[in-house]
Structure 1
Amino acid sequence: MKRICSIYKSPRKNEMYLYVDKREALSRVPEGLLAAFGPPQHAFDMVLTPERKLAREDVAKVLANIEKQGYHLQMPPPQDEYIEHLPDELLRMNDPV
């Protein structure tokens, strides 16, 4: 399944995104979610296929959610997740000598 998607970012929560079918835009996103999300800011459009890799989401889950409910909400990563991505040498800087 191939789908052209529009991705919107939240002005209220850093790294929160809504994926929707470009043709349907935000028409199937519940009003309550849009109210909590804030005025959606269009980030970009992209073609999603089952073979495509996404940085933080399972593309099959994104496509299934768009098909079933009309949108996929990408939540921000947990606050402490950034530590996992720091190079070892940065983590060792705080080790006692």
Structure 2
Amino acid sequence: MHCDIYKSSKKDEMYLYVARPDYSNEVESTDPLGVLSEALRNAFGRATFVMHLELNESKKLARVNVLHVLDSLQTKGFFIQVPPEGLINPNAVEPEGLRGA
């Protein structure tokens, strides 16, 4: 399964995988956000192309299970990779009770 990957302008580490089943026959690409609902488009923001991948069941991805991505690409035409939970934001303001501890 061929797909294009785009990053979000609104949220760091949020990526959109868009299925490209006719990759070898396509001349020009369409709007990558066209597969999303209006609410998801607004949440994703501007899509910036990152790369093209050919996925298969033996391919390893860094943060998501390739089988989940392939299933979503086949059923919905897209997959949204959200930022991992629990990442520490080094710029976050410390809670009041922890300052100066």
Q: Shorter-chain-normalised TM-score: which range? A: 0.7 to 0.9
Identity value in percent: 38
Q: CA-to-partner distance for each residue in 1:57-89, whole Å, 9 max, x for gaps?
A: 00010010111111111010124369xxxxxxx
Query: Where does structure 2 lack aligned partners over 5 or more consecutive residues?
Result: 23-29, 90-101
Name the counterpart of 2:96. Answer: none
- Counterpart among 4, 12, 15 of residue 14 in structure 1: 12
Report the secondary structure of 1:78's partner residue. Answer: coil
Query: Where does structure 1 lack aligned partners over 5 or more consecutive residues?
Result: 83-97
Larger fraction in helix: 1
The number of equivalent residue pairs is: 80
- Counterpart among 45, 60, 69 of residue 67 in structure 2: 60
TM-score w.r.t. length of structure 2: 0.71
Q: CA-to-partner distance for each residue in 1:28-72, whole Å, 9 max, x for gaps?
A: 222210111001111110100010000000001001011111111
Name the counterpart of 1:45. Answer: 52
TM-score w.r.t. length of structure 1: 0.73
Question: RMSD over aligned Cα, in angstroms?
Answer: 1.9
